[in-house]
Amino acid sequence: MLLAAMTALAPQTPWEWAVAIFSIVLIDIVLAGDNAVVIALAVRQLPPRQRFIGTMLGAGVAVGLRVVLTFFAAQLLAINYIKLIGGLLVFWIALKLLRENSGGPDAHSKVAAGLWSAVWLILVADITMSVDNVLAVAAASKGSFALLMFGLGLSIPLVVLTSNLLSKLMDRYPIIVWIGAAILGKVGGEMVVTDKLFFPPPTVPDAWFVHGVGTLAAGVVVTVGWISRRRRKRLAAAAAAAGQ
């Protein structure tokens, strides 16, 4: 298991513990963003009460998956095409969430297809994005189970608070919906291009190439979303004109 292989590296001195804790806090702050974007987009169209429930369930799913995946992360990474499949799923979710949240005549009528549909989207996205997150926290924990649990526990309030804040900001500033979908598209693109299919170990892709593909994927998500939105508006206008 991943933790067993790292136990010998566990922090020994107070300085090492302080560095590990600081690293975990920074990792959680950075990595909470992706999950928060998924949750905020998925629950944005829900009524206030269901939005709160969806946020809490989504955060619980995100953290629960990290606990489970921690003990299987090494095995998951050994599976062929896991990042390719996961990246494509995240890319599809980005397009779906953008369609449901970018306005238009049918955006509010669907209401994210209900609470459980939103939770299901969050679950699928979290499964595909959590492996790298778990590995980052596990590496910073250096084999310490206490530090690992600290990192996982800290991610709960971070994801919940960030999701709530993003949901409110999305209501006020719709442009954030597009930014959030672009971020998910970038994550999906980077996952796909770093799969073993393209760079078998020990080959490592250049960072600029990975970021370039991620940026291209983000642009595709926004472009497809914009085209889809214009098409829905034209269809709505045609339907309105036919009904007069």
Instruction: Quote the distance between the C-alpha of residue 2 and its chain's center.
Output: 23
Using the CB atoms, write b or e for 21-58: b if 16+ within 10 Å: bebbeebbeebbbbbbbbbbbbbbbbeeebbebbbbbb
Cβ-based burial of 109 (10 A; exposed 0-12, middle 13-18, buried ≥19): exposed
Across the chain, mean pLDDT equals 77
What are the backbone angles phi and psi of residue 115, rounded to the nearest 5°?
Answer: -60, -50
Which of 214, 190, 188 is closest to 198 using CA atoms?
190
Higher pLDDT, residue 179 or 70:
179
Is this model's pTM higher than 0.85 or not?
Answer: no
Model pLDDT for residues 29-76, shown as the tens digit of each residue: 766 777 788 888 888 878 888 888 888 888 777 777 777 776 665 566
Using the CB atoms, write b or e for 206-226: b if 16+ within 10 Å: eeeebeebbeebbebbbebbe
Looking at beta carbons, which pairs linking 227-231 to residues 24 or more positions away fall under 8 Å? Answer: 228/99, 229/99, 229/102, 229/103, 229/104
What pLDDT, on the 0 to 100 scale, is given for residue 56?
Answer: 84
Strands (E), 51-97: none
Please tell me what DSSP assigns to residue 144.
-
Rounded to whole angstroms, how far apart are CA atoms 107 and 215? 26
Rounded to whole angstroms, how far apart are CA atoms 20 and 55? 29
Confidence of residue 222 (pLDDT cuts 50, 70, 90): very high
Instruction: Quote the distance between the C-alpha of residue 223 and its chain's center.
Output: 20
Q: Which amino acid is at 229?
A: R
Rounded to whole angstroms, how far apart are CA atoms 150 and 160? 16
Model pLDDT for residues 91-137, shown as the tens digit of each residue: 888 888 888 776 544 444 444 457 788 888 887 777 777 666 666 67
Rounded to whole angstroms, how far apart are CA atoms 26 and 128? 21
Rounded to whole angstroms, how far apart are CA atoms 36 and 159? 5
Rounded to whole angstroms, how far apart are CA atoms 142 and 72? 16
What pLDDT, on the 0 to 100 scale, is given for residue 209?
Answer: 93
What average pLDDT does this structure show over 144-159? 77
Query: What does the block give as tokens for 92?
Result: 């599809």
Residue 166 scores a pLDDT above 80: yes
86 and 191 in contact (C-beta within 8 Å)? yes
